[in-house]
């Protein structure tokens, strides 16, 4: 099991926010993640975990610093874990644009060179990181997953591809149909190649339309989001849910944009949604 190196720690709402670095076999390099341990989180009182996946250009720090989630997590007894959004380092393939490469891992397993050497974020966030968290911290094996934008895409894909690993899914402003939007088309072509049939395995709309196991799923979307029509396209996700009878709740909010102001406005409701299903 990987050795953890503590980067920083801060007491918050009676618990602890800590950042760690460790070697990841999945991405063949070092990864960073943050964890919030609520007060009373001890080996004799382990707590369930919500994994948060952040969006393009973000790191583990955005959610922990901006979302305002720790007050409610401390109240509920809910551990928060936020990994970085991609592998990083001088030997890791990158691109000059913000929507590809470091900071833009898209939570998939790349199959194309040079990306396939490091970009296996799906394996990292669904298998390696939970195994590490459950071996090193006083948590249960009850998990839920959430995220924003590219991370909302990631949360949906993780829960839809491996529903047995999670109790619930939520997302803010997810890239809902990535194989048919500019961000997704660019990332998928580089990471997965030109065979668009293979892209369907990483597209939440496609996965939801044929899901055999369902999970309670909550999605919030701001209607003043500048990326709504071209990049996010939540209507496709709703159509897939309607066709499949998938338990999706899609809430649309006039006036809200793509920022962390939107996330901070509704994060408490997401935490309580997940806690309800984690403790059911």
- Cα(82)–Cα(129) distance, integer angstroms: 10
Residues comprising the chain, all counted: 280
Active site annotation includes 177: no
Which of 149, 168, 204, 209 is catalytic? The answer is: 149
Active site annotation includes 225: yes
- Cα(104)–Cα(40) distance, integer angstroms: 35
Which of 176, 225, 270, 277 is catalytic? The answer is: 225
- Cα(162)–Cα(157) distance, integer angstroms: 8
Which of 17, 148, 190, 258 is catalytic? The answer is: 258
- Cα(248)–Cα(66) distance, integer angstroms: 26
Active site residues: 149, 225, 258
């Amino acid at each position: 099991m990987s050795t953890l190196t503590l980067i920083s720690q801060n007491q918050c709402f009676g618990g602890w926010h800590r950042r760690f670095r460790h070697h990841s076999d999945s991405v063949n390099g070092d990864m960073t993640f943050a964890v919030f341990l609520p007060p009373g989180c001890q080996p004799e009182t382990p707590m369930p975990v919500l994994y948060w996946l952040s969006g393009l250009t973000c790191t583990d720090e955005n959610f922990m610093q901006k979302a305002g989630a720790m007050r409610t997590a401390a109240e509920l007894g809910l551990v928060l874990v936020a990994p970085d959004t991609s592998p990083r380092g001088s030997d890791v393939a990158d691109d000059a644009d913000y929507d590809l490469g470091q900071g833009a891992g898209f939570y998939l397993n790349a199959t194309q060179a040079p990306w396939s050497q490091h970009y296996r974020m799906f394996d990292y966030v669904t298998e390696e990181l939970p195994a590490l968290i459950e071996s090193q911290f006083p948590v249960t094996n009850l998990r839920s997953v959430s995220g924003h934008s590219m991370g909302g895409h990631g949360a949906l894909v993780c829960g839809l591809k491996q529903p047995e690993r999670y109790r619930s899914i939520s997302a803010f402003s997810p890239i809902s149909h990535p194989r048919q939007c500019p961000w997704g088309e660019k990332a998928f072509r580089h990471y997965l190649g030109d065979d668009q049939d293979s892209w369907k395995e990483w597209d939440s709309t496609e996965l939801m339309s044929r899901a055999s196991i369902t999970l309670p799923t909550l999605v919030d979307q701001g209607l003043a989001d500048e990326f709504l029509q071209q990049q996010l396209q939540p209507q496709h996700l709703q159509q897939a849910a309607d066709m499949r009878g998938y338990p999706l709740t899609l809430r649309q909010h006039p006036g809200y944009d793509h920022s962390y102001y939107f996330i901070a406005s509704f994060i408490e409701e997401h935490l309580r949604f997940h806690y309800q299903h984690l403790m059911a």
